[in-house]
């Protein structure tokens, strides 16, 4: 009798152990395929730059900046051509009138000489009427030419500043796009994150306003100056 009760107890214990093992097997870890799928989705979500960087806007801005850069470069070349033509005309003016040039009447040199030494021949003291009229005309052409050359120099400086601004915008856009490509490979460095953090600065309202000013400046320039020189 005692032996039978012992056998029944052992049987129950074995059953209970089996149930524990069976229950443990029911909660086995996820399969490797499921883990791989879950990991892939997580990495893809974390490293997809399009989720937090407006790369389409950066690319569009970069294309616009490149076009404006080429236009500003062309305008700068046109200014150099006009300035060269003005300087050539002034040089030829004084070459054709060497007698007037010897009197020190070439622009600021004549005025400075008059202030310092007083050795300035007034037109009213010249006896020859033809010479006086020619001298007046030469001085007028020289004055207009020098003023135009000064205006071209100021205009050149404005376009050089615009060119530097556009080149800086272009460099920043290219850095952002390059860092976006690097981030797609899962590489994150302080430099990469720093460039990506400049998106809002590059696409700021202030920069857009500056670009609009450059476009207006180009429109005004094209209306006044001939680009076919």
Q: What is the pLDDT of residues 91-149, one digit of tens each?
A: 999 888 887 765 544 455 555 555 655 555 555 555 578 888 888 899 899 999 999 99
pTM > 0.75: no
Structure confidence by residue, pLDDT tens digits, 135-169? 889 989 999 999 999 999 999 999 999 999 999 99
Distance CA 14, CA 36 (A): 38
Residue ranges covered by each domain of the chain: 51-102+156-224
Q: Where are the beta strands (DSSP E) in 2-92?
A: none
Number of residues that this document lists for the chain: 229
Please enumerate in sequence order all residues whose Cβ is within 8 A of that of 107, keeping only pairs 6 or more positions apart, or say none. 142, 143, 146
Contacts made by residues 44-53, CB under 8 angstroms, sequence distance 24+: 47/183, 47/184, 47/186, 48/184, 49/180, 49/183, 49/184, 49/196, 53/176, 53/180, 53/196, 53/199
Grade residue 40 by pLDDT with cuts at 50, 70 and 90: very low
Provide the pLDDT for residue 116.
59
Does residue 50 come out as left (phi exceeding 0), alpha (psi in the -120 to 50 range) or beta? alpha
Structure confidence by residue, pLDDT tens digits, 9-37? 545 445 444 443 444 444 444 444 434 44
């Amino acid at each position: 009798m005692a032996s039978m009760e012992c056998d029944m107890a052992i049987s129950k214990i074995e059953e209970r152990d089996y149930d524990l093992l069976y229950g443990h097997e029911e909660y086995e870890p996820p399969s490797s395929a499921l883990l791989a799928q879950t990991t892939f989705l997580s990495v893809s979500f974390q490293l997809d730059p399009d989720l937090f960087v407006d790369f389409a806007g950066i690319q569009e801005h970069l294309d616009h900046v490149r076009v404006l850069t080429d236009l500003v470069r062309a305008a700068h070349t046109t200014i150099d051509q006009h300035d060269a033509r003005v300087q050539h005309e002034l040089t030829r003016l004084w070459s054709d009138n060497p007698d007037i040039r010897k009197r020190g009447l070439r622009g600021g040199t004549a005025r400075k000489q008059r202030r310092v030494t007083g050795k300035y021949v007034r037109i009213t003291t010249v006896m020859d009427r033809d010479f006086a009229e020619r001298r007046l005309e030469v001085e007028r052409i020289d004055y207009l030419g020098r003023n135009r050359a000064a205006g071209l120099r100021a205009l050149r400086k404005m376009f050089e500043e615009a060119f530097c601004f556009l080149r800086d915008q272009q460099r920043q856009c290219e850095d952002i796009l390059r860092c976006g490509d690097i981030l797609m490979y899962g590489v994150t460095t302080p430099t990469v994150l720093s460039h990506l953090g400049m998106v809002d600065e590059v696409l700021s309202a202030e920069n857009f306003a500056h670009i609009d000013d450059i476009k207006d400046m180009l429109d005004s320039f094209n209306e006044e100056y001939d680009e076919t020189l």
